[in-house]
Structure formats: C-alpha cells, structure tokens
C-alpha cells in the first residue's frame, strides 16, 4: 500500500526519535566515548539495524520514509529502489514494497567472481533510482553506491535514510555536488530533544552530548 497522508515532518521526526529511544537504538556516553568507523571518538552511537526486529516500529518508520520521499521528491519520481549493502537492504525492500517498485541492492565492492557485479537484481539504463540506507553521517559513503548505480546507465539523484546525523555542515554539499538530494526522518537534534523530554539519560550525559553536537569537530579534536 502506498502511503499518502501522514503527520508533518516535525512530528515524524519526534516520533522517529521516540521509537529509536524506545528500542534502545540510541547510546550516549560522554565519559567513555564510542569509536566511530572513521576512528574518531563520539559520545553518541545509533544502531538502526535493530529496527528490523521490531515489526510495529519497523512498519511505521517505513511508512514515514515512503511518504517523506513522495512528498519531497514526487509521486512518480522513481522506477527502482536500491539498498546499500548491508544495512540498507532490508529497508530498501520494505520501501519498494510500499511504492510498488522493483528493488535492487548495491554491493560495497564487486563480489570477485561470476559476473563480478556490484548491482544485484535488475537495473536498466534510464531507470530513476532511489538509494535507501539506514543512516548517513557526512554523506561520503553514499557516493560509491551512487556511482555504481550510474555506471549501469540508470540515474540516481536522491538518497533516503532513517537517520541523518545533521551535525556536519558539509554533508548536504558533498551530496549536492554529486547531484544527490538527501531525505531523512530525524537527526541527533531530534533525538536529544526527545531524550530530554523523556529524561531518558541523566542531565550530565545529555549536556555532554549537547556539547558534542554543537561543535563535533572541536569536541573530537580535544579528545584525540
């Protein structure tokens, strides 16, 4: 079923943040920071992969993501939904089902045997492809997926994610310079606001997270 009427974007953001907190996908620890894939420290960590294990939340968020794309990109904007390996694959399948569109997925690198393909499923020249992922930080990891899609002769001018960090100003420009528009449900600011409302963490922790979100690069540099 294609969703068409859902809450405004601000309410979608609040409810998404609430659901992420409810299932324990949000982790805050300013005293003992997490190490991100980049090797940099962070007092925040989010695990969107947990969503696939919660059917009611999963279904609601996929409705939200589908309607966000329809509202922001258009109701007839896409011919194919592609998931990025690996976290984006289940979400791409669920969005494709809602939009009644073919689904494919993009490997991080060629599989090294057989057809040595990066695209699995059928993607044809001229198709307008939406790249679906679980989250984005600075947007950089999306570019390789977009390039792989474009190498098939298809186009890819949009990516949709459940969670967008929203703290690195270069993200939108990085994607925009590559001809890609970003669509998302919520950011760290939304999660922090909802965490304060729910008193989900102690005040010291929330204040430490706020300090990071206000100036993440300085926060990371001070902690090596």
- pLDDT score at 61: 97
Instruction: Count each helix (H run) and each strand (E run) in the chain, helices first.
Output: 8, 10
77 CB neighbour count, 10 Å cutoff: 14
Task: Give the integer Cα–Cα distance in Å for 195 and 18.
Answer: 8
Asked if the structure places residue 2 within a domain, the reply is no
Asked if the structure places residue 191 within a domain, the reply is yes
Instruction: Write the secondary structure of 118-149 as one string of H (helix), E (strand) and C (coil).
Output: CEECCCCCCCEEEEEEEEECCCHHHHHHHHHH
3-state secondary structure of 97: helix
Asked if the structure places residue 127 within a domain, the reply is yes
Taking the CA of residue 56 as centre, how many other CA atoms within 13 Å lie in the half-sphere pointing to its CB?
4
- pLDDT score at 204: 93
Asked if the structure places residue 101 within a domain, the reply is yes
Owner of token pair 């699995």: 120
Closest-CA residue to 165 (of 179, 178, 182, 181): 182
E-strand stretches of the chain: 26-28, 34-35, 41-42, 44-46, 80-84, 103-106, 119-120, 128-136, 155-164, 181-186
Asked if the structure places residue 165 within a domain, the reply is yes
Owner of token pair 């939340």: 57
Asked if the structure places residue 3 within a domain, the reply is no
pTM (2 decimals)?
A: 0.94
Please give the chain's pLDDT, 224 residues, in tens: 677 778 999 999 999 999 999 999 999 998 899 987 778 889 999 999 999 999 999 999 999 999 999 999 999 999 999 999 999 999 999 999 999 999 999 999 887 665 668 999 999 999 999 999 999 988 888 999 999 999 999 999 999 999 999 998 889 999 999 999 999 999 999 999 999 999 999 999 999 999 999 999 899 888 87
- pLDDT score at 49: 96
Which domain covers residue 146, as residue numbers?
Answer: 9-222
Q: Domain holding 40: CATH number?
A: 3.40.50.2020
Number of domains in the chain: 1
> Are the C-beta atoms of 99 and 128 separated by less than 8 Å?
no
Task: Give the integer Cα–Cα distance in Å for 116 and 194.
Answer: 45
201 CB neighbour count, 10 Å cutoff: 20
Asked if the structure places residue 4 within a domain, the reply is no
Evaluated on CA atoms 78, 83, 87, 93, the torsion sign reads: positive
Asked if the structure places residue 150 within a domain, the reply is yes
> Are the C-beta atoms of 192 and 206 separated by less than 8 Å?
yes
Burial of 47 (0-12, 13-18, 19+ CB in 10 A): middle
């Amino acid at each position: 079923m294609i969703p068409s009427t859902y809450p405004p974007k601000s309410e979608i953001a609040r409810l998404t943040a609430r659901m992420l907190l409810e299932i324990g996908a949000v982790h805050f620890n300013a005293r003992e920071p997490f190490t991100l894939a980049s090797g940099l420290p962070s007092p925040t960590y989010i695990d969107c992969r947990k969503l696939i294990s919660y059917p009611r939340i999963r279904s609601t968020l996929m409705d939200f993501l589908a309607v966000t794309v329809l509202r922001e990109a258009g109701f007839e904007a896409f011919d194919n939904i592609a998931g990025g390996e690996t976290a984006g694959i289940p979400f791409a399948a669920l969005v494709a089902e809602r939009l009644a569109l073919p689904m494919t997925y993009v490997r991080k690198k060629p599989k090294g045997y057989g057809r040595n393909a990066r695209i699995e499923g059928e993607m044809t020249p001229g198709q307008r492809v939406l790249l679906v992922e679980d989250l984005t930080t600075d947007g950089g990891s999306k570019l390789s997926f977009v390039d792989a899609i474009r190498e098939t002769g298809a186009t890819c001018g949009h990516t949709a994610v459940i969670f967008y960090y929203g703290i690195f100003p270069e993200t939108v420009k990085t994607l925009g310079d590559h001809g890609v528009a970003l669509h998302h449900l919520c950011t760290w600011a939304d999660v922090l606001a909802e965490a304060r409302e729910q008193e989900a963490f102690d005040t010291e922790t929330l204040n430490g997270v706020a300090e990071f979100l206000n100036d993440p690069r300085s926060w990371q540099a001070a902690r090596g």
